[in-house]
A and B are shown apart, each in its own frame.
Chain A
Amino acid sequence: MFSSIINADLFAAMLRVATPLLLVAIGAAFTLKAGIFNVAVEGLMLVAAFLAVVLSTLLGNLWLGILLTIVLTTSVAMLYGFVTISMKADHIIAGLGINLFSAGMTAWLLQSVLNSPGGFSSTNTPDIPVVHVAFLDQVPALGTIFNGQNVITILSWVLIVVSYLFVHRSKFGLRLRATGEHPVAATTVGISPIQWQYISIILCGVFCALGGTALSMGSINLFTKGMTAGRGFISFAAASFAGGSIPGTVIISFTFALFSSLAIRLGGLGIPTRFVQMIPYLVTLIALIFSRRRDRL
Chain B
Amino acid sequence: MDNMHLSFNQPTPEQQKPVLERIRELSNHPKIRGLWLNLMQTFIAILAALIVGACLLLIIGANPIEAYGALFKGALGSWPALARTLRTATPLIFTGLAVVVAFRAGYIFLGMEGSLYFGALSAALFGIYLAPGLPAFLHLPLSMLAGFLAGGLWALFPAALRARWKVDEVVSTLMLNYVAVLLVDHLVYSFFQDPTGGTNAERAFTVTVPESSRLPFLSAKYGLTWAILIGAVLAVVLVWIYSRGVWGFESDMTGFNRKFAHYGGVNTIRMAIVSMVLAGAIAGLGGTTESLGNYGRYISGFSSDFGFSGVTVALMGRLDPIGTLFGAFFFGALSSGGAAMELVTDIPRDMVVVLQGLIMLVVTAQAFFSMLRLSAKARPEE
CB within 8 Å of A: which of B302-351?
Answer: 308, 311-312, 315, 346-348, 350-351
A102 and B350 CA atoms in complex are apart in Å by 10
- CB–CB B362/A289 < 8 A: no
Which residues of A, 101-143, contact B by the 8 Å Cβ criterion? 101-105, 107-109, 111-113, 117
Provide the residues of chain B in CB contact with A233, threshold 8 Å.
171, 174-175
A102, B356: Cα distance in complex, Å: 11
Query: With A108-B348, A112-B348 in contact, is A240–B171 under 8 Å at CB?
Result: yes
Give which listed residue, B108, B165, B185, B308, contacts A289 with CB less than 8 A: B165
Chain A: interface residue total (CB-CB under 8 A): 52
Contacts of A272 in B (CB 8 A): 186, 190
Contact flags (1/0) for A269-293 with B, using CB distance below 8 Å?
0001011011001101100110000
A68-89 interface mask toward B, CB cutoff 8 Å, 1 = contact, 0 = none? Answer: 0000000000011001001111
**Assembly CA distance A274 to B184 (angstroms):** 10
Q: Report the minimum CB–CB distance from A230 to chain B (whole Å).
A: 5
**Interface locus among B225-233, B235-243, B363-371:** B363-371
Shortest distance between the CB of A67 and any CB in chain B (Å): 21
* Inter-subunit contact B179/A278 (CB<8 Å): yes
Check A97 for interface membership: any CB of B closer than 8 A.
yes
Q: With the chains together, A93 CA to B315 CA distance in Å?
A: 9
Specify which chain B residues have a CB less than 8 angstroms from the CB of A285 in the assembled complex. 172, 175-176, 179
B198 at the interface (CB under 8 A from A): no
Let me know if A236 and B171 touch, CB within 8 A. Answer: yes
Let me know if B179 and A281 touch, CB within 8 A. Answer: yes
Instruction: Give the docked Cα–Cα distance between A297 and B175 (Å).
Output: 19
CA distance A39 to B367 in the complex (A): 21
Overall SS of chain B's interface: helix
Please name all residues of chain B whose beta carbon is closer than 8 Å to the beta carbon of A83 when the two chains form the complex. Answer: 361-362, 365
B88–chain A nearest beta-carbon distance, Å: 17
- Given the interface pairs A98-B357, A112-B347, the reply to whether A230 lies near B175 with Cβ below 8 Å is yes
Q: Is B170 part of the binding interface, using a Cβ–Cβ cutoff of 8 Å?
A: yes
A179 within 8 A of B: no
Shortest C-beta distance, A236 to chain B (Å), equals 7
Bound CA–CA A94/B360 (angstroms): 6
Given that A39-B170, A88-B366, A88-B367 are contacting pairs, would A100 and B182 also be in contact in the complex, using a CB cutoff of 8 Å?
Answer: no
Please give, as numbers and ranges, the residues of chain B lying within 8 Å of A96 by CB-CB distance.
110, 308, 311, 360
Known contacts A88-B365, A96-B311, A108-B350; is A101 also within 8 Å of B172 by CB? no
Instruction: Identify which of A83, A99, A295 gathers the most chain B CB atoms within 10 Å of its CB.
Output: A83
Whether B142 is near chain A, meaning CB under 8 Å from some CB there, is no
Contact of B168 among A79, A113, A294 (CB under 8 A): A294
Assembly CA distance A96 to B358 (angstroms): 10
Shortest Cβ distance from B2 into chain A, in angstroms?
A: 62
- Assembled-state Cα–Cα distance A107/B355 (Å): 13
Contact assessment for B366 and A282 in the assembled complex, using a CB-CB cutoff below 8 Å: no
Contact A101 B166 (CB under 8 A): no
User: How far does the Cβ of B290 sit from chain A's closest Cβ, in whole Å?
Assistant: 21
Tell me which residues across on chain A come within 8 A of B40, comparing CB atoms: none
Distance between Cα atoms of A31 and B216 in the complex (Å):
50
Cβ of B183: which chain A residues have Cβ within 8 Å of it?
274, 278
In this assembly, does A90 line the interface, its C-beta being within 8 Å of a C-beta of chain B? yes
Closest-by-CB residue of A relative to B185 is: A274
Partner of A97, one of B56, B110, B347, B358: B358
Residue in chain A with minimal CB distance to B168: A296
- Complex CA distance for A230 and B308, rounded to whole angstroms: 14
Q: Is A101 a contact of B311 with CB atoms below 8 Å?
A: no
* CB of A229 within 8 Å of the partner chain: yes
Whether A94 pairs with B346 at a CB distance below 8 angstroms is no
B178 on interface, CB distance cutoff 8 Å: yes
Cβ of B60 under 8 Å from chain A: yes
Residues of B with C-beta under 8 A to A288: 167-168, 171-172, 175
Bound Cα distance A112, B347 (Å):
7
| B residues 91-129 touching A (CB-CB < 8 Å) | 108, 110
Q: Does B283 contact A (CB under 8 A)?
A: no
Bound state CA distance, A102 and B348, in angstroms? 15
Task: Give B258 Cβ to nearest chain A Cβ, in Å.
Answer: 9
8 Å CB contact of B186 from A99, A234, A274, A284: A274
Q: With a CB–CB cut-off of 8 A, which chain A residues contact B179?
A: 278, 281-282, 285
A104 with B166: CB separation less than 8 A = no
Q: For the complex, is A202 an interface residue (Cβ under 8 Å from B)?
A: no
A22 and B178 alpha carbons, distance in the complex (Å)? 21
- Cα distance A104–B351 when bound, in Å? 6
- Which residue on chain A has the smallest CB distance to residue B370? A88
A99 touches B357 (CB 8 A): yes
B176 A111 Cβ-Cβ under 8 A? no
- The smallest beta-carbon distance between A275 and chain B, in angstroms, is 7
Give A230 to B365 CA distance when docked, in angstroms: 25
B266 within 8 A of A: no
Contacts of B362 in A (CB 8 A): 83, 87, 89, 97
Q: A107-B348, A107-B353 are in contact. Are A94 and B361 (CB under 8 A)?
A: yes
Residues of A within 8 A of B357 (CB): 97-104
Please give, as numbers and ranges, the residues of chain B lying within 8 Å of A62 by CB-CB distance. none
Q: Does A92 contact B (CB under 8 A)?
A: yes
Shortest CB-to-CB span from B367 to chain A, Å, is 4
The CA of A87 and the CA of B362, in the complex, are separated in Å by: 9
Q: Which 8 A-B pairs have the closest CB atoms?
A: A97-B360, A101-B357, A104-B353, A100-B357, A104-B354, A87-B365, A107-B350, A97-B361
Please report A residues at the B interface, Cβ cutoff 8 Å.
37, 39, 79-80, 83, 86-90, 92-94, 96-105, 107-109, 111-113, 117, 229-230, 233-234, 236-237, 240, 272, 274-275, 277-278, 281-282, 284-285, 288-289, 294-297
Given contacts A89-B363, A101-B358, A274-B189, 16 further A-B pairs with CB under 8 A are A39-B170, A89-B362, A89-B368, A90-B364, A92-B108, A94-B360, A96-B311, A97-B360, A100-B308, A101-B353, A102-B357, A103-B353, A104-B353, A112-B62, A285-B172, A294-B166
5 contacts between A and B (CB under 8 A): A93-B364, A98-B361, A103-B353, A108-B350, A274-B182
